[in-house]
Structure 1
Amino acid sequence: MPEEKKSVLEGFKAFLMRGNVIDLAVAVVIGAAFTAVVNSLVKGVINPIVGAFGTKDLDRYRSCLKGPCETNAAGDVVRGIPILWGSVLSAVLTFLITAAVVYFLMVLPMSRYLAHKAAKERREEEAHAEVEATEIELLREIRDALVAQRNDAVELVAKRNGAGETPRVSESERR
């Protein structure tokens, strides 16, 4: 039984030490820090710009669905059904800013890097294919020269022996 627990613990350790898990943990930490930056950007820059046209806080933008909305001194709705479209707008802006930054700072450079790497690999493969084609052509020439040399040797032996007809190596025998 202790042997089984040891193997489970070793398996768990191997799982944790795999590159994917560590990369994912780093991405979560960076994502959390990045979210804080984007939220402060929306609250510190975007909200005041929108506030120039109305309320400084997007969360205060709302519409009343049923009847006039009444709030108490604390800002809680006492009567009516409020639609808080300002908080939705704030969340959408936060999402768009986050998506734009991730795309332009991470996705676009990585896709360009991968495209450059793929093009380089294609060029290397084409060069390798050219070298292989040259080698194959050279091997064919060597084969043909050896076959011609063999045929010449067979003819020479046949002439010395006085035979009239000399055996030739056919195309199928060459291959």
Structure 2
Amino acid sequence: MSLNLPLPDKDDPVWTAANGFVVRKDGGVIRLTGHETFAVKVTGEETDGAFAFMDGLITPDHGNQPHIHTKEDEAFYVVSGAFEFINGNEKITAGVGDFVYIPKGTRHGFKNIGTEPARLLVFYTPAGPESFFLAYGETDRAPEPWPDEKFNEMVDILGAHNMVLLPGDHDWD
């Protein structure tokens, strides 16, 4: 291709700097939270705070507590299974290949509505919430539901990570 426009010199970092990176299929840091197992694949430290990415496996009939993020948008891509999401006061059913976007300040949550473990990719922009999983996710036990007492103990910790838990379980009423 021949372009008729000014281009940077071949010594310019735009041509020479290899600033990107790859995370392999088995890469990331594994953390367990209740019935969720997440591989934190990309952190804000790696993207100058711009973006974070996690790969989750969620057991049937489980998911997260309704909540909001005060500073980050969150998006989901369903790799396997089927999920029910809340988005404010609406419920959304999403299956393989579906993408769900939730802007900051919006009540949301998800649960696996299938009969098998289901895989969900989670994106944050800017980065931030992944640091909660890294700091407080468990590393050495089989996933089981976190009791209300654990959530109550974590209210201030979650707040420090720009997350606010909201009342309601997975009925989301």
Structure with the larger RCO, 1 or 2 (CA within 8 Å, 6+ apart): 2
TM normalised by structure 1 equals 0.22
Higher helix share: 1
Higher strand share: 2
Bigger Rg, which one = 1
